Structure 1
Amino acid sequence: MTTVTSTPNRTAPSGTAPRSLLSGMPWLVWRQHRAAFLTMLAITAAALVWIGYQRGQMTDYLSGYGWPHSLSDEWRNDFQQQGGQWLDATGGALRVIPVLLGVFIGAPLFAQDIEQGTAKLIASQSAGRTRWLATKLGMTALVLVICTTVLSIAFAWWWGPVRTETAFAITWTSGTAFDVTGPVPVALTLFTVAGGMAIGVLLRRTLISMVVTFGFVIAVQGVWEYVRLALGDVVTVRTPGVDKDALASVPDGAYVLDHSYYTGSGRLLGWSTCQTEETEQAMDVCMRKADVVGWSVDYLPISQMPAMQWLGAAILLALTGAITAFVFFWGRKRLV
């Protein structure tokens, strides 16, 4: 007589959730921070929809003046009312992202775990704190890089048609353009978040870490505002004649840093030289007496923008790497 045996179905017990795409430590980190990660992804998606819509509105307006083949000068008259103000406002809003992420993601990332005892619990498990640290750092960095890279590309696409029109659209050296396109927003965000993490690890209290991190990222923004222009190589051109119409022409999109008079000996004088003279004849006499022979203009060409951005991003990423290494090695020994 043959005995037939049945193989039990390998199904999950009733009430058990389906198997996740993540498991182990990545699953734990995702569960712990999924609200923050999903919020970042949702805001990024909403921003992409907004940018796509506004870009379409702007190009429709510009197409009426010949874009993309050429643009008549009349397009500038109503540009601000036809979407230009949204371009500037959105660039300003995107500048705030590193501040918000540094405070609300970086600072609590480890400080909250230390304060609530989660770090001590993790340290007692077989997985160990090294894997936990690496997973938290890696997953957080991945989400940040995805969101900031996508927003950077999208905003550059929106800004592209008026990129060189610095007198009528946003200037490429300003934070609303330079800091939200190319690699800069990615590097700046990673740096502020890494700084927040380090502050959280050292202070070990969530609220105070967030407050200190806010001061830190504001200071970073201030220093970066000063450093930004120093990343480029200043170009100087001179033109003969003291009439303002003789000012040296600069390339489209160039950012003029300074213009001044230069003398026969090559010495520079401020543009206000002899401006106090009451008559044009008296001003001419003053100019001859000062030996002024022409104008000197210092500027940064827009062609330097990518190189400046990558140089700045490299500096920020190097600092981020150093801070992250500190958080990792400090956390392995003293996190609990």
Structure 2
Amino acid sequence: MQVLLTTALLAVLGAVLLINGLGAAGFAAQNTPATDCVTDPDACGTYTLGMMEWMWSVGEIVGWLPLLAPAMIGAFWGAPLLSREFEHGTHQLTWTQSVTRRRWLVTKVGGLGAAVTLGGLVLGGIVNAWLAAFDSPAFPVNFFGNPNWFRLVGIVPAAWWLSAFVLGVATGALFRRTLPAMAVTLAVCALAFFGLLRAPSFYATPERAVQATVMDDPAPDDSLYVNSYWIDGDGVKYTSQERELALAGSCGTDETTKKYAKCAFSHGYRQVAEFHPASRFWQFQWTEAGILLIPALALGGVAVRRTLRPRI
């Protein structure tokens, strides 16, 4: 039942995103600015607003999937798998037949684990294709910098789904009651999601771009933004507030103007942006997959070992 329901939900999601993506592609074909945004800002603004409306008509729902999908997989796929057998006492009959405990576990956990992994990869492919329909020079989609999109494309959805499934199996084996196992699985999935929400910024040492003249944001549009601050000529770090106080007398307080920025640069201040380039996307995908799967598989191994050891 869980497999059929998940397959149906993925099919419905794919159909909804396909219709939305085709609508966005049709809008883009008719409204893409003929020139750059500097030459024709009105056309660019209309195009951007229209694409945002198309994206967020379903994007707000899709944005919840990084949290909800793994939690549901863990609670409804993983947690009942063993806890239901213990709770109903059916393991006393099932595991005393010709099919051994080990074979039963390998078949059930291995087969469903493979199905869960495949489902996560399918979700990543569906969302990636949907986002690609919006990605254009006039409306770039940052697959890396947006934490929701990062966890809905590539291999990360499969890692989240599989780790949640293994977590559910482990809690079911440890608690041997379905409802407590489901509750603990949901709670741990929520803690993991919010705990790792901004974690990719720390997966590697960020690159630094120093801005010494009046120019645009030195961090590329497709990068993962980490931090920005100011330094003086001696390399001492300043917050925006500290730099504003230091320059209030000579440069004024309207830091949104190029005149203010030019004045700040003329006094020896430099703006520093820290970011991760888009080339680190797959490195961070595998890093997060490892962070999720290594502890989940270790806990799952302990639970399976406990299950294989009959109680006396």
Q: Same fold (TM over 0.5)?
A: yes
Counterpart of 1:156 in structure 2 is 128
Contact 2:21 2:134 (8 Å CA) reproduced? no
**Of 15, 20, 23, which aligns to 1:54?**
20
**Cα distance per residue 1:19-67 (max 9 Å; x no partner):** xxxxxxxxxxxxxxxx111111111111111121111111112222349
State the one-letter code of the partner of 1:264.
G
**Aligned residue runs from structure 1 range 60-71, under 5 A:** 60-66=26-32
Determine if the alignment matches structure 1 residue 306 to structure 2 residue 272. no
Counterpart of 2:220 in structure 1 is 251
**Aligned residue runs from structure 1 range 157-196, under 5 A:** 157-163=129-135, 172-196=144-168
Contact 2:147 2:198 (8 Å CA) reproduced? no
Contact 2:79 2:181 (8 Å CA) reproduced? yes
**Of 310, 316, 321, which aligns to 2:292?**
316
Determine if the alignment matches structure 1 residue 332 to structure 2 residue 308. yes
Determine if the alignment matches structure 1 residue 296 to structure 2 residue 272. yes
Mark the CA change 1:170 to 1:250 in structure 2 (over 3 Å): closer, same or farther.
closer
**What runs of 5+ residues in structure 1 fail to find an aligned partner?**
1-34
TM-score, normalisation: structure 1:
0.78
Contact 1:238 1:296 (8 Å CA) reproduced? yes
Give the Cα separation in 1 of the matches to 2:32 and 2:6: 38
Mark the CA change 1:43 to 1:70 in structure 2 (over 3 Å): closer, same or farther.
farther
Determine if the alignment matches structure 1 residue 125 to structure 2 residue 97. yes
Counterpart of 1:73 in structure 2 is 44
Contact 2:155 2:286 (8 Å CA) reproduced? yes
State the one-letter code of the partner of 2:157.
P
Counterpart of 1:105 in structure 2 is 77
Q: CA deviation at 1:95?
A: 3.7
Mark the CA change 1:185 to 1:166 in structure 2 (over 3 Å): closer, same or farther.
farther
Give the Cα separation in 1 of the matches to 2:111 and 2:273: 48
**Of 82, 92, 96, which aligns to 2:64?**
92
State the one-letter code of the partner of 1:250.
A
Give the Cα separation in 1 of the matches to 2:112 and 2:222: 37
Mark the CA change 1:80 to 1:151 in structure 2 (over 3 Å): closer, same or farther.
same
Q: Could you say what the CA RMSD is over the residues aligned between the two structures, in angstroms?
A: 2.9
Give the Cα separation in 2 of the matches to 1:230 and 1:55: 33
% identical equivalent positions: 19
Q: CA deviation at 1:279?
A: 5.3
Mark the CA change 1:335 to 1:232 in structure 2 (over 3 Å): closer, same or farther.
farther
Contact 1:235 1:299 (8 Å CA) reproduced? yes
Give the Cα separation in 1 of the matches to 2:3 and 2:311: 23
State the one-letter code of the partner of 1:73.
C
Determine if the alignment matches structure 1 residue 269 to structure 2 residue 245. no
Contact 2:82 2:169 (8 Å CA) reproduced? yes
SS in 1 for 2:152: coil
Counterpart of 1:39 in structure 2 is 5
SS in 1 for 2:222: coil
Counterpart of 2:191 in structure 1 is 219
Contact 1:148 1:186 (8 Å CA) reproduced? yes
Give the Cα separation in 1 of the matches to 2:287 and 2:138: 22
Determine if the alignment matches structure 1 residue 138 to structure 2 residue 110. yes
Larger C-alpha radius of gyration, 1 or 2?
1
Contact 1:254 1:302 (8 Å CA) reproduced? yes
**Cα distance per residue 1:274-306 (max 9 Å; x no partner):** 43576554668xx98xx7421111112223222
Give the Cα separation in 2 of the matches to 1:230 and 1:260: 17
Give the Cα separation in 2 of the matches to 1:232 and 1:166: 30
Q: How many residues align?
A: 294
Mark the CA change 1:280 to 1:86 in structure 2 (over 3 Å): closer, same or farther.
farther
